[in-house]
Amino acid sequence: MTEAESVEQKHKSSNGNVPPESSVEDVFDHTYKEKEGPKPHRSIVWKNVILMTILHIGALYGLLLVPTASTSTLLWSFVCFLISALGITAGAHRLWSHRSYKASLPLRIFLGVANSMAFQNDIFEWARDHRVHHKYSETEADPHNAVRGFFFAHIGWLLVRKHPDVIEKGRKLELTDLKADKVVMFQRKYYKLSVLLMCFFVPMSIPWYLWGETLWVAFYVPALLRYTLVLNATWLVNSAAHMWGNRPYDTTINPRENRFVTFSAIGEGYHNYHHTFPYDYATSEFGCKLNLTTCFIDFMCFLGLAKDRKRVSKEMVQARIQRTGEGSYRSG
Ligand code: ST9
Ligand code: ZN
Ligand code: ZN
């Protein structure tokens, strides 16, 4: 056993210094084997192709309207961007998919509402797909398998029927924690209504009602353009951060550290670290650096609305860098 492996082993076995291990099924499964034989026929969902095309054309038009929007409307669009982004990063991702910290009921309600503003499937579906993504990364059971190319990992996976292995493996996942969460189940039950309200009606009507913005601009900028930007910032984690960047923690996996994605996805681009230690609430070794989501969770803890943040010790990170990081390849 190398020195690095023995540090990790010590952490695993010592009662006094147990690493914060994952309580959900988000750790890579090395035993999965793709089925041999012909691949299933790719079946395009034309309704999604048409809706996504219209959405992106609408967003481009919204971009043209930006110079005509008032400063208050632009500020409001930014606020809506942040709220919906947090509904994904602090909510669907770090809380519900990975259970990397605990949140009180008021915070979970806020994150549930913010999540509907992001309109990226309900929390249950998002977290289920994301756990399958971690457990079967870069295989056919990964919903946005980046081996199938940038386009598929970015948006293409939402335009075709899922590979049967995604559904088969997803059905075997343990999801009782999500089913037991009343906020998750309530949001799932009223998802369509909550999206209409939070993703479109609220972002559009506040600027019109409070400072007299035209409904036209209010629809295209804080609603449509902001929604499309949050979608693409999220999708970049699946595409760009699975393709471009370095791998300081584990060179045996595809996800990478990508600065641009970290910036646009408010802290979610440290993706080599995140796939190596999925249970770390900060998704990064560097705490709040370029990581608004971590600041937000810390602030919620300060207010007493969150607790039990899971973190990986510095020694364990170092041991992993030595054992599987890029450096070990250079020095070896
Ligand atoms: C969107 C999601 O954009 C984005 C998620 C991105 C994740 C990124 C993660 C990165 C890390 C975090 C970083 C965050 C950064 C944020 C930065 C912010 C600034 N297991 O789905 P169906 C079942 S959504 C088990 O129809 P098809 C299912 O329950 C955008 N079961 O599959 C159902 O069962 P039943 C807006 C599963 O027919 C049956 O299978 N939304 C699983 O293949 C059929 O399900 C859209 O565009 C599973 N994993 O259709 C809609 N999956 O029949 C997109 C499915 O019993 N969705 N099942 O009820 C769809 O239209 C369809 O799902 C489809 C596939 C066409 C894609
Ligand atoms: Zn990933
Ligand atoms: Zn994750």
Question: CA 76, CA 304: separation in Å to the nearest integer?
Answer: 27
Q: Within a domain: residue 331?
A: no
User: Residue 220's closest CA among 48, 73, 71?
Assistant: 73
Enclosing domain of residue 98: 4-8+27-324
Output the ligand 1 site: residues, CB below 6 A.
45, 48, 85, 88-89, 93, 120-121, 126, 128-130, 132, 143, 158, 161-162, 166-167, 170-171, 230-231, 233-234, 237-238, 265-266, 268
| Percentage above 90 pLDDT, the chain | 85
Query: What is the tens place of the pLDDT at every residue in 177-229?
Result: 999 999 999 999 999 999 999 999 999 999 999 999 999 999 999 999 999 99
In this structure, the residue with its CA closest to atom 55 of ligand 1 is 167
For residue 264, the tally of other CB atoms under 10 A from its CB is 19
Closest approach atom of ligand 1 to CA 88: 16
Q: Is the pLDDT at 4 greater than 70, yes or no?
A: no
Q: Please give the C-alpha separations between residue 114 and each of 125, 152, 268, in angstroms, as whole numbers.
A: 16, 27, 17
In this structure, the residue with its CA closest to atom 50 of ligand 1 is 161
In this structure, the residue with its CA closest to atom 20 of ligand 1 is 170
Q: Within a domain: residue 22?
A: no
Q: Is the pLDDT at 330 greater than 50, yes or no?
A: no
Task: Give pLDDT, residue 321.
Answer: 96
Q: Is the pLDDT at 331 greater than 80, yes or no?
A: no
Query: What is the tens place of the pLDDT at every residue in 83-130?
Result: 999 999 999 999 999 999 999 999 999 999 999 999 999 999 999 999
Q: Within a domain: residue 330?
A: no
C-alpha 253 to ligand 3 mean position (Å): 14
Q: What average pLDDT does range 126-140 have in this prediction?
A: 97
Q: Within a domain: residue 20?
A: no
Q: Within a domain: residue 176?
A: yes
Task: Give pLDDT, residue 15.
Answer: 32
Task: Give pLDDT, residue 11.
Answer: 46
- 120-137: burial string, b at 16+ Cβ within 10 Å, e else: bbbbbebbbbbbbbbbbb
Amino acid (1-letter code) at residue 234: T
Count the domains in the chain: 1
Q: Within a domain: residue 332?
A: no
Closest approach atom of ligand 1 to CA 160: 66
Task: Give pLDDT, residue 325.
Answer: 96
Q: Within a domain: residue 16?
A: no
Q: Which ligand is nearest to the CA of 89?
A: 1
Task: Give pLDDT, residue 114.
Answer: 98
Q: Within a domain: residue 232?
A: yes
In this structure, the residue with its CA closest to atom 27 of ligand 1 is 161
